[in-house]
């Protein structure tokens, strides 16, 4: 199969926005507004969020493997002298993010004047201080309520933040980027076309990408991986020389598992929005050590495969390995759903990455490549701990990408596979999962 010119990952950034007072507008806290005083009592300071080891791993100041060696709960063991800036991105505080919201606002939706909210507006708080309000933009359109518009603008502002960080640190000329793909989970539109888009183009506008166009990719948690594959095909075909893939955070998921945190007397750790930006380009002029995406061995979940977890993994991991003529042990690292277990475990969801890597090792056992007694050791050697905020699409493999790029350039990594699953059944149109993967190598 011809796949055109080789495509390299040129750079990647990850950012966090600490927004404790926006947790009240997460979907679950908003539906249980009477419990806000309980939630507010368990929210973290900015300093606590910065010093939290998984957040430091997210922005690159801590190797993910180091989390396995640290005592848990991690929130009881903050990193001394932790800073908000790392090699892959940065953590900003709530006032900074409010300013980002205002800058990204093209329709006067945000007021930071400290004036009491008008009817149907959402108050914006900084602790006990009212700092402004967010207004709706239509009297009857459910897609233009203040809640929905705030989710959408927060996603845009986060993606702009991540892309600006990537541009600043890479020195890439924004005028040389021809296309942007946005893989955030929000559907931008109005009552006649609720998912019409195009957030990608809005992000490109705010980042000075004057020669770019763009579109949005929607596939639940599999969105970023599928967007990276689509972006790589645009480069491989010669349609564009530079493609940026971005995703802002999911405000609706703030405080999503707050009940477990309150029941276990832990902090509400879902107090950050996460965002990503990745730049793709031709491999022939990429910096030394930049990994190439194997477009001849992309994993995809086929309709006819059904919805079992084994069938899904066979399609998105087993099939690409077979296409490359490789065994499971010949991929240095696998990255998948990297959800922070300190968020999911109190809510009864267990350690999601550990479960996924054990299932993956189980598939290797079925193929005769691994003994059952070796599952735990294999999962530790070829897997990763969870350190991503539970922002759904962001947690799905992408937080590993900047770490992987650094390891490729240092010569300590030869190959890695990133794969993600998407819960299509949540939209009630099909009972199928979705899934996709790609492999990077030098």
Give the model's pLDDT for residue 306.
86
Measured in degrees and rounded to the nearest 5, phi and psi for residue 208 equal 75, 25
DSSP 33: G
Give the model's pLDDT for residue 307.
83
Give the model's pLDDT for residue 2.
63
Domains defined for the chain, CATH in brackets: 7-441 (3.40.47)
b/e code 252-273 from CB counts within 10 Å (16+ = b): bbbbbbbbbbbeeebbbbbbbb
Contact status, residue 293 vs residue 438, Cβ threshold 8 Å: yes
DSSP 339: B
240-298 pLDDT per residue, tens: 999 999 999 999 999 999 999 999 999 999 999 999 999 999 999 899 999 999 999 99
Give the model's pLDDT for residue 382.
97
Alpha helices in 258-314 (DSSP H): 258-264, 309-313
Angle CA 272–277–282, to nearest 5: 165
Residue 367 has pLDDT above 60, yes or no: yes
62-71 pLDDT per residue, tens: 999 999 999 9
Region 88-109 average pLDDT: 98
Give the model's pLDDT for residue 1.
57
Confidence band of 373 (pLDDT split at 50, 70, 90): very high
| Whole-number Å distance between alpha carbons of 312 and 317 | 8
Whole-number percent of the chain with pLDDT over 90? 97
Pairing assessment for the beta strands 110-111 and 129-134 based on DSSP bridges: antiparallel
190-200 pLDDT per residue, tens: 999 999 989 99
Give the model's pLDDT for residue 3.
77
User: pTM value?
Assistant: 0.97
Q: What is the mean pLDDT of the chain?
A: 96
b/e code 40-78 from CB counts within 10 Å (16+ = b): bebbbebebbbbbbbbbbbbbbbebeebeeeeeebbeee
Q: Mutual orientation of helices 199-206 and 146-170 as an angle, nearest 10°?
A: 50
Confidence band of 392 (pLDDT split at 50, 70, 90): confident
Residue 357 has pLDDT above 90, yes or no: yes
Confidence band of 419 (pLDDT split at 50, 70, 90): very high
Q: Which of 128, 152, 148 is nearest to 138 (CA)?
A: 148
Measured in degrees and rounded to the nearest 5, phi and psi for residue 21 equal -80, -10
Query: Which residues 6+ apart lie within 8 Å of 366 measured at CB?
Result: 310
Q: Which of 110, 217, 218, 200 is nearest to 163 (CA)?
A: 200
144-166 pLDDT per residue, tens: 999 999 999 999 999 999 999 99
Angle CA 396–442–53, to nearest 5: 40
Whole-number percent of the chain with pLDDT over 70? 100
222-237 pLDDT per residue, tens: 999 999 999 999 999 9
| Whole-number Å distance between alpha carbons of 383 and 86 | 23
Contact status, residue 205 vs residue 198, Cβ threshold 8 Å: no
Region 27-41 average pLDDT: 98
């Amino acid at each position: 199969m011809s796949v055109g010119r080789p495509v390299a990952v040129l750079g990647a950034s990850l950012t966090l926005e600490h927004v404790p007072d926006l947790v009240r507008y997460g979907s679950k806290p908003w539906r249980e507004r009477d419990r806000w005083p309980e939630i507010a009592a368990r929210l973290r300071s900015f300093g606590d969020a910065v010093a939290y080891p998984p957040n430091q791993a997210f922005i690159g100041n801590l190797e993910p493997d180091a989390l396995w060696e640290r005592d848990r709960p991690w929130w009881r063991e903050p990193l001394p002298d932790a800073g908000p800036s790392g090699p892959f991105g940065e953590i900003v505080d709530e006032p900074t993010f409010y300013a980002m919201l205002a800058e990204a606002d093209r329709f006067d939706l945000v007021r930071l004047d400290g004036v009491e909210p008008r009817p149907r507006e959402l108050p914006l708080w900084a602790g006990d201080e009212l700092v402004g309000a967010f207004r709706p933009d239509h009297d009857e359109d459910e897609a233009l309520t203040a809640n929905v518009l705030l989710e959408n603008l927060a996603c845009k502002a986060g993606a702009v933040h991540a892309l600006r960080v990537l541009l600043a640190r890479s020195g890439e000329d924004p005028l040389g980027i021809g296309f942007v793909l946005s893989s955030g989970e929000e559907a931008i539109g109005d009552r006649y076309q609720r998912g019409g888009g195009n957030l990608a183009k809005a992000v490109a506008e705010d980042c000075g990408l004057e020669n770019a166009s763009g579109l949005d990719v929607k596939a639940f948690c599999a969105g970023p991986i599928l967007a990276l594959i689509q972006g790589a095909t645009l480069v491989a075909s010669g349609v564009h020389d530079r493609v940026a893939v971005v995703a802002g955070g999911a405000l609706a998921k703030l405080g999503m598992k707050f009940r477990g945190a309150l029941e276990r007397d832990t902090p509400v750790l879902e107090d950050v929005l996460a965002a990503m930006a990745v730049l793709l380009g031709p491999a022939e002029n990429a910096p030394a050590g930049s990994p190439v995406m194997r477009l001849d061995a992309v994993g995809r979940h086929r309709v006819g495969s059904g919805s079992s977890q084994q069938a899904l993994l066979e399609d998105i991991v087993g099939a690409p390995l077979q296409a490359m003529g490789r065994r499971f042990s010949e991929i240095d690292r696998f990255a998948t759903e990297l959800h922070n277990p300190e968020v999911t475990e109190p809510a009864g969801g267990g350690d999601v990455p550990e479960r996924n890597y054990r299932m993956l090792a189980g598939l290797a056992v079925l193929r005769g490549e691994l003994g059952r007694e070796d599952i735990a050791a294999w999962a530790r050697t070829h897997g990763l701990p969870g350190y991503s905020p539970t922002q759904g699409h962001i947690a799905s493999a992408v937080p590993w990408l900047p770490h992987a790029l650094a390891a490729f350039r240092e010569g300590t990594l030869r190959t890695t596979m990133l794969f993600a699953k998407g819960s299509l059944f949540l939209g009630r149109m099909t009972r199928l999962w979705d899934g996709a993967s790609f492999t990077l190598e030098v």
